[in-house]
C-alpha cells in the first residue's frame, strides 16, 4: 500500500469524525447563545390563528382537547391537519409572548362581525385562564417583560381586519378596552375606508374616516397593523400615524412579488416611522418558486373542476382528482425552507435597518410552514441560522422581541400624551358604498 493510499484509507475518516465533532460543538454553542438571548428578551410572535381553529374544530369547547399535550400527531375531529401550536411546543420554541389573532371572516358583516370578534377575544381569555400555569394575559410592554421573567408566556390579542369594528370608532375603543392591542386595517377585502392588498383598489389608500381610525388608534394606544393592506393604504396610514406601526405578519416584496408583502420604498417609510415588520412564514410569501407553483396549482384545479359550470371534469370528482394528481406528479411542489425566511429577515434588515424587523409566523392560519419551521417549536432553529450568517446576540434580541417591545412602549407613550391633549374622535361613520352600476 502506498503512503497516499494509506492516508486516504485511514486518516480521512479521522478528519471527518473530527470535523463532525466540531460542527456538533458549534451547533451546541449556537443553541446556548439562543438560550442566553431568550432568557433576557422574550421571543414575541406577532400572529397566530389558534383561536379560530379552536372555534372551528372544537366549537370553542376546551374540554374537547388539551393544549398541555403535544398535538403534532393529533388530527382534528374532521381529519384536519394537526395544529401547529400547543404548550409543549411553545415551550420548546422558547416563545415568550404571543399575539393571538381574533380574526373573523370578511363575509361576516356589521353586528355579526362585532359579536364574533368578542367571542374570539373570549376564547383567548378562556384559554389563558385554563392554562394559567403557562399563559398570562398581557396588555402593555411592561406586562410582557414581567410575565416573561416569571417564566410564563404572555398572551396578547390582535384584531385582524377593520371590518371587525363595523365602521364605528366607539366599537374600536371598546375592542381596546376588551384587550385588543393591534388592529389590521383590512383583511382580504376592502373596507369602506381602506383598500386591501388583495382586492381591487376602491379608495386608493384611506378615506378621511380611515385617517380618523388611525388617529384614534394612536390616541388610545392600539397598534396600527398594516399587514393585508395595499401599498397606497400603507403610505396613507404611515403619513397619518404619529406612533410606530407594525406589520404583524408580512414579508419582503423585493424577494417575492406577492401583494401581501412590503415593497422596499415602504420599508424605508417604516424605518422613518420607527415601526417593525414581522416576517411571515407562509411558503407563498417567502419563496417565489412556491408562489408561482401555488398559482399554477390553483389554476389547474379550476381547469378540471371549476364550479358551478366550468372545468373539464365538472361533476366527476374522481376523474378531476386523478388529473390533478397526474399534474402534481409532473410538477412537484418546489421547496420552501427556513433559509427563505432568513433571507426575508435579512432583506428587511438591509433596507429598513436592524431596529425594524421581527417575527410573525401566521401559524395555524396557514396550511403549512416551510421546511424547518413547521410549527411553534422551531423558532430557535431560525435564530441559529441567522447566527451562522453572522448576527450578533444583540441583533438576535432585537429581532426576537426587543424591536416590538420598543414599538409597544412608544405607542403607549404617544397615547398617554394624546389622551391628555385630544378628545375622542367624533368622526361620523363612513358613508355607505355607492350603488353598483
- Catalytic residue, candidates 249, 258, 340, 347: 249
Q: For residues 297 and 278, state if they share a domain.
A: no
Q: Do the Cβ atoms of 66 and 127 come closer than 8 Å? A: no
pLDDT of residue 206: 97
Question: In this structure, are 298 and 205 located in the same domain?
Answer: no
- Based on the fold, state whether residues 48 and 193 are members of the same structural domain: yes
Tell me, yes or no, whether 50 lies in a domain. Answer: yes
* Burial (CB count <10 Å: 0-12, 13-18, 19+), residue 76: middle
Region 375-396 average pLDDT: 98
- Using a cut of 0.85, tell me whether the model's pTM lies above it: yes
Any domain includes 22: no
Q: H or E segment at 137? A: strand 135-137
Same domain (yes/no): 124, 266: yes
CATH code: domain of residue 145: 3.20.20.140
pLDDT tens, position by position, 260-297: 999 999 999 999 999 999 999 999 999 999 999 999 89
The grid coordinates listed for 78 are: 374532521
The CA-based angle 131-134-135, given to 5 degrees, is: 75
Q: Is residue 433 part of a domain?
A: no
Q: Domain for residue 13, yes or no?
A: no
Give residue 139's pLDDT. Answer: 98
Catalytic residue check, 148: no
**Is residue 330 assigned to a domain?**
yes
Does residue 147 share a domain with residue 44? yes
User: Which of the following is catalytic: 86, 163, 199, 228?
Assistant: 228
Query: How far apart (Å, rounded) are the C-alpha atoms in residues 36 and 39?
Result: 5
Our answer to whether residue 163 is catalytic in this structure is: no
- 114-165 pLDDT, tens per residue? 999 999 999 999 999 999 999 999 999 999 999 999 999 999 999 999 999 9
Residues 303 and 356 in one domain: no
303 and 351 fall within a common domain: no
pLDDT at 12: 45
> 415 and 319, same structural domain?
no
Ramachandran region, residue 60 (left: φ > 0; alpha: ψ -120 to 50; beta: rest): left
- Confidence grade of residue 430 (pLDDT, cut at 50, 70, 90): confident
Find the domain containing 173 and state its range.
38-287+336-421
Q: Are residues 230 and 367 in the same domain?
A: yes
In a domain, 344, yes or no: yes
pLDDT at 25: 52
**Domain tally, the chain:** 2
8 Å CB contact between 427 and 209: yes
User: Per-residue pLDDT tens for 184-232?
Assistant: 999 999 999 999 999 999 999 999 999 999 999 999 999 999 999 999 9
- Could you confirm whether 187 is annotated as catalytic? yes
Using the 3D structure, point to which of 305, 334, 363 is the last residue of a domain. Answer: 334
**Residue 226 cell numbers, joined:** 398594516
Per-residue pLDDT at 416 exceeds 80: yes
Q: Is 49 a catalytic residue?
A: yes
249 is catalytic: yes
Amino acid at each position: 500500500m502506498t503512503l497516499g493510499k494509506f492516508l486516504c484509507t485511514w486518516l480521512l475518516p479521522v478528519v471527518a469524525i473530527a470535523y463532525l465533532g466540531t460542527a456538533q460543538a458549534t451547533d451546541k454553542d449556537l443553541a446556548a447563545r439562543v438560550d442566553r438571548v431568550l432568557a433576557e428578551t422574550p421571543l414575541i410572535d406577532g400572529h397566530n390563528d389558534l383561536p379560530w381553529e379552536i372555534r372551528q374544530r372544537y366549537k370553542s369547547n376546551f374540554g374537547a382537547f388539551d393544549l398541555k399535550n403535544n398535538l403534532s400527531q393529533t388530527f382534528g375531529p374532521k381529519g384536519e391537519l394537526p395544529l401547529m401550536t400547543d404548550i409543549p411546543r411553545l415551550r420548546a420554541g422558547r416563545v415568550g409572548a404571543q399575539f393571538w389573532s381574533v380574526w373573523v371572516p370578511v363575509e361576516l358583516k356589521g353586528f355579526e362581525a362585532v359579536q364574533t370578534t368578542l367571542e374570539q377575544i373570549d376564547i383567548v381569555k378562556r384559554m389563558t385562564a385554563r392554562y394559567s400555569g403557562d399563559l398570562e394575559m398581557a396588555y402593555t410592554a411592561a406586562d410582557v417583560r414581567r410575565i416573561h421573567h416569571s417564566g410564563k408566556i404572555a398572551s396578547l390579542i390582535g384584531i385582524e381586519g377593520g371590518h371587525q369594528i363595523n365602521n364605528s370608532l366607539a366599537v374600536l375603543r371598546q375592542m381596546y378596552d376588551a384587550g385588543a392591542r393591534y388592529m389590521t386595517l383590512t383583511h382580504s377585502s376592502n373596507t369602506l375606508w381602506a383598500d386591501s392588498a388583495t382586492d381591487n383598489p376602491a379608495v386608493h389608500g384611506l378615506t378621511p374616516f380611515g385617517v380618523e381610525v388611525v388617529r384614534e388608534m394612536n390616541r388610545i394606544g392600539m397598534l396600527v397593523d398594516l399587514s393585508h393592506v395595499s401599498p397606497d393604504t400603507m403610505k396613507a396610514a404611515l403619513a397619518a400615524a404619529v406612533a410606530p406601526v407594525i406589520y404583524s405578519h408580512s414579508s419582503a416584496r423585493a424577494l417575492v412579488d406577492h401583494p401581501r408583502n412590503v415593497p422596499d420604498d415602504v420599508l424605508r417609510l417604516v424605518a422613518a416611522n420607527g415601526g417593525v415588520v414581522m416576517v411571515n412564514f407562509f411558503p407563498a410569501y417567502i419563496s417565489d418558486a412556491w408562489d408561482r407553483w401555488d398559482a399554477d396549482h390553483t389554476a389547474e384545479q379550476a381547469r378540471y373542476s371549476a364550479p358551478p359550470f366550468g372545468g373539464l371534469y365538472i361533476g366527476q370528482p374522481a376523474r378531476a382528482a386523478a388529473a390533478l394528481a397526474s399534474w402534481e406528479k409532473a410538477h412537484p411542489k418546489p421547496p420552501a425552507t427556513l433559509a427563505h425566511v432568513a433571507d426575508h429577515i435579512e432583506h428587511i434588515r438591509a433596507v429598513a435597518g436592524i431596529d425594524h424587523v421581527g417575527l410573525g409566523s401566521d401559524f395555524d392560519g396557514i396550511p403549512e410552514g416551510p421546511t424547518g419551521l413547521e410549527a411553534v417549536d422551531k423558532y430557535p432553529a431560525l435564530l441559529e441560522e441567522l447566527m451562522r450568517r453572522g448576527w450578533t446576540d444583540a441583533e438576535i434580541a432585537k429581532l426576537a422581541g426587543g424591536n416590538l417591545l420598543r414599538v409597544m412602549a412608544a405607542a403607549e407613550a404617544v397615547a398617554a400624551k394624546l389622551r391628555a391633549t385630544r378628545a375622542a374622535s367624533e368622526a361620523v361613520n363612513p358613508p355607505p358604498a355607492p350603488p353598483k352600476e
